[in-house]
A and B are shown apart, each in its own frame.
Chain A
Amino acid sequence: MNEQSLTRRPSTSALDVSSIRSMFPILQEKVYDKPLIYFDNAATTQKPKQVLDCIQNYYSSYNSNVHRGVHYLSQKATDAMEDARKIIQKYIGAELNEEIIFTQGTTGSLNLLAYSFCQMLKPGDEIIISAMEHHANIVPWQIACEHKQLKLRVIPFLEHGELDLETFVKLISSNTKLVSVTHASNTLGTINPVEEIIRIAHQHNIPVSIDGAQAIQHLPVDVQKMDCDFYSFSGHKIYGPTGIGVLYGKKKWLDRMPPYQSGGEMIKEVSFEKTTYGELPFKFEAGTPNIEGIIGLGEAIRFVQETGIQKAATYESELLSYFTSQLKTIPGIRIFGEAPHKVSVVSFLVDGIHPYDTGVLLDKMGIAVRTGHHCTQPIMKYFNIPGTVRASLAVYNTSSEIDIFIHSLERVKKMF
Chain B
Amino acid sequence: MTIEEKEQAIIDEFSLFEDWMDKYSHLIDQAKSLPNIDESYKTDEHLVKGCQSQVWLNAELNGGLVHYTADSDAAISKGIMALLIRVLSNETPEAILRAELSFLDTIGLKEHLSSNRANGLSAMLKLMKAYALGFQIKSKQ
Contacts and interface: CB of A to CB of B under 8 A. Distances in A.
A386 interface: yes
Interface stretch (B8-16, B19-27, B98-106): B19-27
A354 B75 contact: yes
B60 interface: no
Given A355-B52, A387-B52, A415-B28, A365 B73 contact: no
Contacts of B24: 360-361, 364, 415
A41 interface: no
Contact of B77 (A353, A356, A415): A356
A356 B119 CA distance: 8
A144 to B, nearest CB: 26
B44 to A, nearest CB: 16
B82 interface: no
A360 B76 contact: yes
Contacts of B137: none
Interface string B38-62: 0000000000000111100000000
Contacts of A372: 51-52, 118
A366 B8 CA distance: 29
A95 interface: no
B76 A357 contact: yes
Contacts of B119: 356
A364 B21 contact: yes
Nearest to B119: A356
A357 B21 contact: no
B77 to A, nearest CB: 7
B53 A365 contact: no
Contacts of B130: none
Contacts of A416: 28, 75
Interface string B53-90: 11000000000000000000111110000000000000
Contact of A415 (B25, B52, B73, B112): B25
Which of A356, A415, A416: most chain B Cβ within 10 A? A356
A373 B51 CA distance: 8
A132 B24 CA distance: 35
Nearest to B51: A372
Contacts of B77: 356
A320 B51 CA distance: 28
A365 B21 contact: yes
Given A372-B118, A415-B28, A416-B75, A356 B20 contact: no
Nearest to B21: A364
B73 A354 contact: yes
Given A356-B76, A357-B76, A415-B28, A386 B21 contact: no
Interface in A363-411: 364-365, 371-373, 386-387, 411
A96 B86 CA distance: 66
A243 to B, nearest CB: 20
B121 to A, nearest CB: 11
A74 B20 CA distance: 52
Interface in A338-370: 353-357, 360-361, 364-365
Nearest to A34: B20
A14 B25 CA distance: 42
B99 to A, nearest CB: 25
A272 interface: no
Contacts of A357: 28, 74-76
Contacts of A72: none
B20 A32 contact: yes
A371 B52 contact: yes
A357 B18 CA distance: 20
A47 B53 CA distance: 31
Contacts of A360: 24, 76, 112
Contacts of A32: 20
B53 A354 contact: yes
A365 to B, nearest CB: 7
A359 to B, nearest CB: 8
B20 A386 contact: no
Contacts of B75: 353-354, 357, 416
21 contacts: A353-B75, A354-B53, A354-B74, A355-B52, A356-B74, A356-B119, A357-B28, A357-B74, A357-B75, A357-B76, A361-B76, A364-B21, A372-B118, A373-B52, A386-B73, A387-B52, A411-B21, A415-B21, A415-B25, A416-B28, A416-B75
Interface of B: 20-21, 24-25, 28, 51-54, 73-77, 112, 118-119
Given A353-B75, A364-B20, A386-B73, 5 more contacts: A357-B75, A372-B51, A372-B118, A415-B21, A416-B28
Q: What are the 5 A-B residue pairs with the smallest beta carbon separation, nearest first? A: A354-B74, A364-B20, A356-B74, A356-B53, A372-B52
